[in-house]
């Protein structure tokens, strides 16, 4: 079960696809226009779990699917916003082994142009754990409001309802950061940092383009940029580990593959 929970977190941080350049006003127009051209894009990944060496008796297992969808333009507090949805759903051998179903859904509202996050809504369904977590970034006061409700009990219980101070004016969620990053001109050694929000915490993340290489995809071998992501202070994951993502070496820079390596093995996602 512990391994399966790690998988759920990895799928979510698969989106920790979390790599974007810092906000730049000069690029707002082109970034907004480019994202608008991707409206409706739906990326589906097959996720596998490769056990660590000390579980050598277990084979590589199908773990489920992760889906990223830029659904379109909406409105938030009288302002235009992009809506991004991400889901992680378990299935296959690992779900049977762990005897735990994962059905997590995340909805992000983000500012067109700068891709600074307005709100995050998380619907967590992991076995018996059922949570609703909502985060709102209050830019005018440099605060965030987080509210977490345990929906596994009747009546529902409020686990957290807090205001956090000293929040930067522009914070990215991992998936808004992804669309911003895809506007960058990638090259070996290219590196950028950003502030990424995770519930009521904000981390400084650095993404580095390592090299261009060929990877196997469903439609054959494709040239891709391999990017490594790390938190500058503390680990990206609770148990440390490494996160990499491969972007197509073309104008769209579609994320083709991601990999998470932690003590409990490797999680690999490939675009279907």
- Say how far apart CA 72 and CA 110 lie, in whole Å: 11
Instruction: Give kind and range of the element (H or E) at residue 231.
Output: strand 220-231
Q: How does pLDDT run across 142-166, given as a tens digit for each residue?
A: 999 999 999 999 999 999 999 999 9
Pairing of strands 79-90, 191-198: unpaired
> pLDDT at residue 20 above 60?
no
> pLDDT at residue 209 above 70?
yes
**Tokens 């938030």 correspond to what residue?**
76
The structural domain count of the chain equals 1
Pairing of strands 242-248, 103-110: unpaired
At 11 the pLDDT is 44
Q: How does pLDDT run across 110-132, given as a tens digit for each residue?
A: 998 888 999 999 999 988 999 99
Q: Which residue range(s) make up the domain with 84? A: 2-271
> pLDDT at residue 195 above 70?
yes
Q: How does pLDDT run across 75-105, given as a tens digit for each residue?
A: 999 999 999 999 998 887 777 777 778 899 9
> pLDDT at residue 67 above 80?
yes
DSSP tag of 152: S
Q: What percent of the chain has pLDDT over 70?
A: 82
Token pair listed for 235: 């680990």
At 141 the pLDDT is 94
> How many beta carbons lie within 10 A of that of residue 145, not counting itself?
16
């Amino acid at each position: 079960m512990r391994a399966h929970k790690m998988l759920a977190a990895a799928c979510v941080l698969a989106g920790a696809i979390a790599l974007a350049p810092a906000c730049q006003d000069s690029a707002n127009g082109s970034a907004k226009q480019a994202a608008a051209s991707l409206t409706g894009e739906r990326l589906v990944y097959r996720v596998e779990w490769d056990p660590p060496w000390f579980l050598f008796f277990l084979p590589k297992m199908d773990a489920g699917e992760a889906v990223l969808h830029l659904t379109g333009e909406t409105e938030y507090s009288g302002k235009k916003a992009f809506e991004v949805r991400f889901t992680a759903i378990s299935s296959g051998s690992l779900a049977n082994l762990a005897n735990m179903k994962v059905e997590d859904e995340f909805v992000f509202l983000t500012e067109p142009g700068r891709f600074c996050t307005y709100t995050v809504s998380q619907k967590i369904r992991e076995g018996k754990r059922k949570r609703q977590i909502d985060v709102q970034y209050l830019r005018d006061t440099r605060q965030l409001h987080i509210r977490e409700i345990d929906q596994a009990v009747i009546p529902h219980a409020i686990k957290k309802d807090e205001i956090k101070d000293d929040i930067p004016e522009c914070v990215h969620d991992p998936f808004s950061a992804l669309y911003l990053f895809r506007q960058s001109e990638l090259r070996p050694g290219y590196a950028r940092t950003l502030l990424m929000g995770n519930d009521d915490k904000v981390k400084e993340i650095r993404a580095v383009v390592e090299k261009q290489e060929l990877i196997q995809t469903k439609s054959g071998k494709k040239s891709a940029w391999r990017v490594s992501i790390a938190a500058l202070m503390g680990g990206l994951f609770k148990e440390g580990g490494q996160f990499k993502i491969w972007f197509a070496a073309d104008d769209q820079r579609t994320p083709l593959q991601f990999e998470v390596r932690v003590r409990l093995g490797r999680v690999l996602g490939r675009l279907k």
